[in-house]
Amino acid sequence: MPTATGSVPSTAVGAGEEVAAGTVLLGRYELGGLLGRGASAKVYLARDLLTGRSVAIKSFPNPRGGGCEDGRRLVAIEREAAILRRLRHRHVVRLHEILATRKKVHFVLDLAAGGELFSLVDASGRMTEDLARHYFRQLISAVRYCHARGVYHRDIKPENLLLDEAGDLKVADFGLGAVADGNLCHTLCGTPAYVAPEILSRKGYDPAKVDIWSCGVVLFVLAAGYLPFNDASLVNMYRKIYAGKFRCPSWFSPALRGLVRRILDPNPDTRIDTAGILSHPWFCDSASDDELARLMRGHEEEAWFKPEFKEDMARAMTAFDILTFSPGSDLSGLFGAGPGKERVFVSEPAGTVLSRVEDAGRKEGYRVRREGKRGTGPVYVEEESGGIVAKVSVFKLADTVSVVEVVKGDGAEAVLFWKDRLEPAVKPPALN
């Protein structure tokens, strides 16, 4: 079996730049149909011509292609490769090798032939508690293994939980690949419903606890058939997440309710950890100690694990955190901000932010007007003619966290005003 190669090669190593069915990559892998697509890559079915085995090939645009290097993309792909190379677990999709052409970087992966875990829900959108427990155990087995190796998935959600041909769980997509082009928000945000409250609170967070939270949301959805936190308004949805406000359906057993409450605890300090989950009555149910121990042992080989890895990871995580989770970073994607709209998380009182917005508007010679009871906003920044340059509102999510929403006016002036004056004004001063 080929071993995973090192870093992303910088030169073309063969033919097959266009990824089309029937293409043979580097004389070795014959591509079939598209299996899925994510924010960063497309995933194809392929056949290994040497062994006849089916594999999945995750193809990224080559960040070193096209003449100039895309550093952020490169960091993200290298990171995903570094993580996958170090994970060998029954319930984690395994990386076999990396190939590159001028235009693409291809990860050759275990094929998860069974599709998505969610294909197993019944007509009412859920599964029995027993089946949910079966897969939740496999998920926790994988997550615990990753955490023990300093790897945090940070994007656990249904699309990333796949099944192999035997119907066993395979955790996929350790990419957060969207980080590379500044789009982490897309990766996380496709499903804001799975994001732990502390991610947004700008105080730093323990990635292990964040993963546990997402596992809790997945468990809830599997057994309930709907999301624990949901609202037509994303701001309201986040309020519910912050408050840990959800209701278990009537058919949840008391033990399941107990466990879900312990996982979806908005306070990461008191939230249950994997050790706690392992000894929880619902998780253990009728399994013998031996069975549970076997389940939790899931790794196939230990030899791969190199001591230098931890140091490696620490570096990668730092770069990653700077790119994506620095305080005041634009998490707009989490709220699905579209063109003409920006959203920034802050921990200052609304009045302080809105006063800076007013100053910024006046400095540029615009008229400013604050509405709302007791000056709570929104603030309108307008041209003399009355045309709107920006409307800025602040929504409180929790005591220390608010989201500033900026709706930009049409036209180049509004865009410039956002860039030069408004963005620095809404972000916390320390960051400018």
Given candidates 19, 46, 99, 111, which one binds ligand ADP under the rule CB under 6 A? 111
Is 177 near ligand ADP (CB under 6 A)?
A: yes
Given candidates 173, 198, 342, 358, which one binds Mg ion under the rule CB under 5 A? 173
Given candidates 74, 93, 316, 422, which one binds ligand ADP under the rule CB under 6 A? 93
Nearer to ligand ADP, 210 or 344 (CB): 210
Q: Over the Cα atoms of the chain, what is R_g?
A: 24
Spatial neighbors of 197 by CB under 8 A, at least 6 apart, are: 213, 238, 241, 242, 244, 266, 398
Q: How far is CA 25 from CA 22, 219, 267, in A?
A: 9, 39, 48
- Beta pairing partners, 369: 380
Is 382 near ligand ADP (CB under 6 A)?
A: no
Is 177 near Mg ion (CB under 5 A)?
A: no
Is 19 near ligand ADP (CB under 6 A)?
A: no
Query: Are the beta carbons of 307 and 388 closer than 8 angstroms?
Result: no
Which one of 48, 110, 155, 173 is the catalytic residue? 155
Q: Which of the listed partners (Mg ion, ligand ADP, none) does 105 bind, with a CB threshold of 5 to 8 Å by partner kind?
A: none
CB of 94 to ligand ADP, least distance (A): 9
Please measure the distance between the N-terminal and C-terminal CA atoms of the chain and give it in whole angstroms. 51
Is 82 near ligand ADP (CB under 6 A)?
A: no
Is 38 near Mg ion (CB under 5 A)?
A: yes
Q: Which of the listed partners (Mg ion, ligand ADP, none) does 109 bind, with a CB threshold of 5 to 8 Å by partner kind?
A: ligand ADP
DSSP string, 217-253: HHHHHHHHSS-SS--SSHHHHHHHHHHT-----TTS-
Contact segment (CB under 6 A) with ligand ADP among 155-163, 241-249, 390-398, 415-423 equals: 155-163
Q: How far apart are alpha carbons 429 and 356 in whole angstroms?
A: 10
- Beta pairing partners, 408: 390
Q: How far apart are alpha carbons 358 and 338 in whole angstroms?
A: 24
Look up 399 and say whether it is catalytic: no
Chain positions contacting Mg ion, by CB under 5 A? 38, 160, 173
Interface with ligand ADP by CB under 6 A: which residues?
35-41, 43, 56, 58, 93, 109-112, 159-160, 162, 172-173, 175, 177
